[in-house]
Chain A
Amino acid sequence: MADLIHLNYLLISVINRFGINLGFGDKSVQEVCQEHDVNLDFFLEIVNSFHDEDYLPEEHLQDFSVGLITDYLSKTHRYYLDVKIPELEKLIIMMVVECYANNKHATLLESFFREYKNELIAHTKREDEKVFPYSIATELAFLGKDNSLIESTAPGGYSIQEYSSEHDDIESKLYDLKNIIIKYLLPTGNQSLCSKVLTELFNLEKDLNDHSRIEEKVLIPKVLLMEKKLKTMK
């Protein structure tokens, strides 16, 4: 497991989402997963897809249950909202004071980021409260366990198609923020703080890309297929 982190330190945040903490000594990935009751195959697919953007885990990941997938996605939401966003917010407030003291426009960065934060909150909330419960209910119905849940999670009917067409991207604003800092603001103070903020933004953007990819390439097609089969079963 330690080798994994040495290979790509960005994976530290991914293993945290699985509830795995540091200090695992020389234990193998398998041992650590067993200890924390983590599905080893699922863990490996997620790690691989995060590490290598060209790795296409879609097919393999679709073998796992909707419950497992949405659980990981929800945990990732929590990581964004509880850890990354507050961290970045603090950094940006600091940056406005320390890097751009003489620029009266720099406070715009703060309001821009706050706007982004609200967008992200709304986005993840909709997924956590509507899309994911509906997906899980669809799977239960599909497995023949419980048909009633679909109606209660999505009163009035819902289709994953709807989510698919409305699923807006949450990366564009970050991309803009990066470019504003890189190209259009001249820092007068603490340069290293600017680099730190940028590094964080790049990392978060990468993480979000990976996250959206799982939603769009794994979750949506999987639920779509179950919806179709459910219709023909009726």
Chain B
Amino acid sequence: MSKTGFYIASKSYLITKGLESLLREIAMVEIVGKSDSSFKLLENILNKESDFVIISEDMLDPQTKSDLKKYFPYKNKPTLLYLKNSRGYEKAESFFCDSINLYLSKNELLKELNEIIESKKPAGKTSSKSSNLSEREKIVLRHVAMGLTNKEIGEKLFISIHTVTTHRKNITQKLGIKTVSGLTVYSIINGIINLEEVSK
């Protein structure tokens, strides 16, 4: 099995060093690159083959934000992780898939990182974890299985067609099922909808 590659993007020397030494303690992880300036950050990230990019708050100037927005989260690799600065609730930018908290203890951090790495492993390689759909995805799947079009789903859930398509892509990738009838069978087997609802 290949190693999981991390890229670290932070201006802070302490944060970078801290993350490096932390990541070294996780099996099958390697650091493929780092950057201490936000100049051309997107380009630098895309140049390195990484699975995850940890970005700290100080990197997010307006230019970098707009660069990242164009690529993420539509590009499914690498996954961007937000290193947040506070313990409280803080809404991360939409291009981040997940966040980690700067002030966690070492054990907590290791646990979180391990969970994040596990959850991103491609289907088939790991256990049922990869088929864990988010609540939102389950709702979308429910509607797909009932035979609604993307447009109808968008209208029902008050989200754009584009968002519906992104959800559907993720669902297909997580479950390994491409067709609507296949998704319907999956939904019935897993109790996401019941048979009576479909036959209506």
Q: Please list the residues of chain A having a beta carbon within 8 angstroms of any beta carbon in chain B.
A: 105, 108-109, 112, 115, 172-173, 175-177, 179-180, 183-185
Contact = CB atoms under 8 A, between A and B. Distances in A.
A58 B12 CA distance: 56
11 contacts: A108-B188, A108-B189, A109-B185, A172-B182, A176-B179, A177-B182, A179-B177, A180-B185, A180-B186, A183-B131, A184-B186
Nearest to B191: A105
* Residue of B176, B182, B190 ringed by the most chain A CB atoms within 10 A: B182
B17 interface: no
A179 B186 CA distance: 10
A172 B178 contact: yes
Contacts of A180: 177, 182, 185-186, 189
B176 A179 contact: yes
Given A112-B182, A183-B131, A176 B177 contact: yes
A105 B188 contact: yes
A184 B189 contact: yes
Q: Does more than half of chain A's interface fall in helix, strand or loop, or is it mixed?
A: helix
Interface in B145-193: 175-179, 181-182, 185-186, 188-190
B199 to A, nearest CB: 11
Contact of B189 (A173, A176, A185): A185
A184 B191 CA distance: 12
A172 B186 CA distance: 15
Contacts of A173: 179, 181-182
A135 B188 CA distance: 43
A180 B188 CA distance: 11
Contacts of B178: 172, 175-176
User: 5 nearest interchain CB pairs?
Assistant: A176-B182, A179-B176, A172-B178, A176-B177, A105-B189
Q: Which of A108, A176, A184 has the most CB of B within 10 A?
A: A176
A185 B186 CA distance: 9
A16 B102 CA distance: 66
Contact of B181 (A105, A112, A179, A184): A112
A183 B182 contact: no
Contacts of B189: 105, 108, 180, 184-185
Contacts of B177: 176, 179-180
Given A108-B185, A176-B177, 16 more contacts: A105-B185, A105-B189, A108-B188, A112-B185, A172-B178, A172-B179, A175-B176, A175-B178, A176-B181, A176-B185, A179-B175, A179-B177, A179-B182, A183-B176, A184-B190, A185-B189
Contacts of A185: 189
A173 B177 CA distance: 8
A184 B190 CA distance: 8
A108 B188 CA distance: 9
A183 B181 CA distance: 16
A100 B175 CA distance: 21
A184 B175 CA distance: 9
A108 B184 CA distance: 10
A105 B177 CA distance: 17
